[in-house]
Structure formats: C-alpha cells, structure tokens
Homo-oligomer: A and B are copies of this chain.
Amino acid sequence: MTEMIRVDTATRGSLVERAMDMVRDYIETHDLKVGDTLPGEGSFAAELGVSRPVMREAFGALAALRLVDVGNGRKPRVGAIDGSVMAASMGHAVNTAQVSLAHVWEVRRTLELRTAELAAQNRSEEQARAILSAAHGLSVEHDEEARTNADTLFHQTIAAASGNPLFYQIVRSFEQLMAAAIPKAWSGRTTAEEREETLALHREVAEAIAARSPERARAAMESHFASSIGEMLRDQV
C-alpha cells in the first residue's frame, strides 16, 4: 500500500494504463475467447512489478469497459462485447449537451436503414417470424411499457438478423435513450389514424424483411423514421 502514497497521480495513471495494456496483450497473445479465465490480479501484478492496488484499478477499468468480467468472486474472465459501454458514453454525451437527441437519431437512422436491408438478405425463418411478431405486438393500446418493449425488440431483432454483431451491439446501445423517446413519439400520435399509420409502417418493414426484399425493407424503414421521429430530425439535417 505504500506505493499508493509515494507515486503521484499522473505516474499512477500511466501505471494503470500499462497494467490494462498488459491484460489486453495477454488476451490477444493467448488467443482467448469470451468466458475464458484469466490469471488473477496477483499474478499480473507480480509479472508487471506493480502493486495489487494498481492492478485492481486496472481490472476495474477493464471491467467498466466490459473487456473482462470480474463479478461474483470468480476468477476474472474475458468479457463479451456489450452495447452498454457505448450506451453509457452516449447517454452521458446527451445529458451534458455534447450531443443532441437529433444527432443520436440521425446515427440510428443511418445504421437501421442498413440493418433493414441486411436483415432482408440474411434473416433466418425464426428471425423473420420474431420481427413480424414484434411489429404486431406494437398494437397494444393502454400499455405503454409493453409497446415500448415491442418497439425496442423490433429494432434489435432486425439488427441481430443483419448477421453483423457489431450493428446489433450499436443498436442495443440506443435502448435507454429509446425507452425515453418511444413514449414521447407515440404521445405525439393522438388519433387512431396516426397510430394505425405507425403500426402499418412497422408491419411493412417486417413484411419486406420476411419477403427477402432489401430495397423494400430499406424504403419502409426510411418511411418509418421520417414519420415517427421526423420531427426530432428536422432541425438537425
């Protein structure tokens, strides 16, 4: 523990970064995969010649970034890529006005026009059914939470069906911001006709994906974005 007192903060910070790099290098050179166990803090600390507290801080930072999983007193394990890391970053950027919601929706729109296209090419039969089912699940009146969940599932299942796990993780990272925005978007659609239009646009995306038509899926997703969250984007582009 004496090292914590002796070493100044800047030096300590770079020690922690070196310790983080060492764990990353270990994962890469040993060709480890998600769930594989890593040597403990003590072993890395001895190898690098740093104190346990420095190594603990490094593991804490790696766990925050989901590169390692240190939960429940088990040995540390290699972590799975997780949209929550980007979500934390984006949520913070929105909360501190570094990025507007319109900026986020524009990025979402860009990605999801492509995931709709790719899903139409790559979806399995099961995914096609799940997307249709989420689209139909949106027609629950008087249960905002169920509708928000179905809407979130709709977009995430399309991203998963794209076949590219990076699209899926990025789309998942919008979840928290969507949980706040979806009820607002629906509350702007007050008449039965407006609500039916929104439902029809979701169904059209789902049907185009089921029909394996990339162009139609992209066009339908574009109409959906223009209609449901067009207001939020209007002052942006």
Contact = CB atoms under 8 A, between A and B. Distances in A.
Contact of A165 (B24, B73, B103): B103
Interface string A76-107: 00111110011011111101111100011011
Looking at A28, A86, A118, which has the most chain B CB atoms within 10 Å of its CB?
A86
A63 B65 contact: no
Nearest to A66: B89
B13 A107 contact: no
Given A64-B60, A103-B165, A165-B103, A92 B79 contact: yes
B61 A98 contact: no
B88 A65 contact: yes
A102 to B, nearest CB: 9
Copies in the complex: 2
Interface in A36-60: 57, 60
Interface residues of A, number: 58
Contacts of A118: 237
A190 interface: no
A110 interface: yes
A70 B99 CA distance: 22
Interface of A: 8-10, 13, 24, 27-28, 32-34, 57, 60-67, 70-73, 78-82, 85-86, 88-93, 95-99, 103-104, 106-107, 110-111, 114, 118, 121, 164-167, 169-170, 236-237
9 contacts: A9-B70, A28-B95, A33-B96, A61-B63, A65-B85, A81-B90, A107-B167, A107-B170, A118-B237
